[in-house]
Amino acid sequence: MGEGIADYTKFTVDLRRHMWMAGVEKDLRRLIWQIATTGKYISAKIHESNRKMVGVKNIYGDDQLALDKISDQILQNKLANSGFVLEYASEEQDSVIKVGKGDEKYFITADPLDGSSLVDTNLAIGTIIGIHRESIFSTGRHSMVAAMYITYGPLITMIYSAGKGSHEFVLDREGEYVLSEEDIKLKDKGSIYSLGGLRRDWTEGHLKYVQYLDAEGYKLRYSGGFVPDINQILLKRGGIFTYPGLKDSPKGKLRLLFELQPMAFICEQAGGLATDGVHDILSLQVEKLDQRCPVYIGSRFEVEKAKEYLSGN
């Protein structure tokens, strides 16, 4: 570094500053920041749990709440006190919870701890959030204004998009989310694939699609956690994640509101695509909270190719 030239690598941009510089609207900035901070509390609970997750008893014999339920409570409490959220819909609850007083402007969907069954194996897990400006019973394209997810892995990272690109932050030792990857952009074609569902349950079209990817030399990357699997595609700048419709469950496994819409929003903002094999995930009408649908999400080329195979062309 020459004399007199500042070493900009020594300067960090924290989440609040980034959103401000990116022109994200004030209330949305504050909301995203508040949600990001819940990641610290959820991560503390994961550590405290010592990798146990389901309704276990503590050393005194008392029932302990499962980690995903605790994460849900942390989020709900935070959002109820945020002043910005009218309704909260969580993968952990049967109905939409009104958490606001009446004039708040945002509607939140949450998968508080996705992949929580992986806690005992010490694989990465995550929190997925959709932020809507209108009722969630619409299409994502119409109602969503932002999305984010937090990955609890060797590092805690967070990706958000408020419709101006997708950006990654790392939680540093001081407890600050610091910008690590700005405006992530997927290549048109990647080289990894992440394939959900049992091979014997795949439809003919999907099987042929995977055979095509095999022949092209795609490398398998599947952890069983939606958050780290999508995160890998984003950070490696391409590839495809699928959880297809299966022979006896044509809607697949993953949930439209809690898992697919937020990831579709972030992926599209990174220049990728997300479809159910025919339609964009964000154009699908939400009818009910636990609605599931097949998903093909990632680089444009692979998602378009899936469409071809699924339509039999």
Query: How far out from the chain centre does Cα 85 lie?
Result: 19
- Report which residue type is found at 179: L
Residue 202 touches ligand F6P, criterion: CB under 6 A:
no
Q: Name the segment binding ligand F6P (CB under 6 A); options: 47-55, 142-150, 222-230, 262-270.
A: 222-230
Residue 205 touches ligand F6P, criterion: CB under 6 A:
no
For ligand F6P, which is the closer residue by CB, 204 or 290?
290
Q: How far apart are CA 292 and CA 197, in angstroms?
A: 14
> Using CB atoms within 10 A of its CB, is residue 221 exposed (0-12), middle (13-18) or buried (19+)?
middle
Q: Name the segment binding ligand F6P (CB under 6 A); options: 29-37, 220-228, 232-240, 274-282.
A: 220-228
> Using CB atoms within 10 A of its CB, is residue 93 exposed (0-12), middle (13-18) or buried (19+)?
middle
Residue 224 touches ligand F6P, criterion: CB under 6 A:
yes
185 within 8 A of 298, measured Cβ to Cβ? no
Q: How far apart are CA 217 and CA 196, in angstroms?
A: 18
| Beta-sheet strands, E only, within the chain | 85-90, 97-98, 106-114, 125-132, 144-152, 156-161, 167-171, 177-181, 192-195, 219-220, 240-243, 273-275, 295-298
Q: Name the segment binding ligand F6P (CB under 6 A); options: 39-47, 130-138, 218-226, 274-282.
A: 218-226
Residues within window 251-280 making contact with ligand F6P, judged by CB under 6 A? 253-254
For ligand F6P, which is the closer residue by CB, 153 or 224?
224
Residue 225 touches ligand F6P, criterion: CB under 6 A:
yes
Size of the site for ligand F6P (CB under 6 A): 8
Residue 245 touches ligand F6P, criterion: CB under 6 A:
no
For ligand F6P, which is the closer residue by CB, 100 or 112?
112
| Residues within the interface to ligand F6P (CB under 6 A) | 114-115, 196, 224-226, 253-254
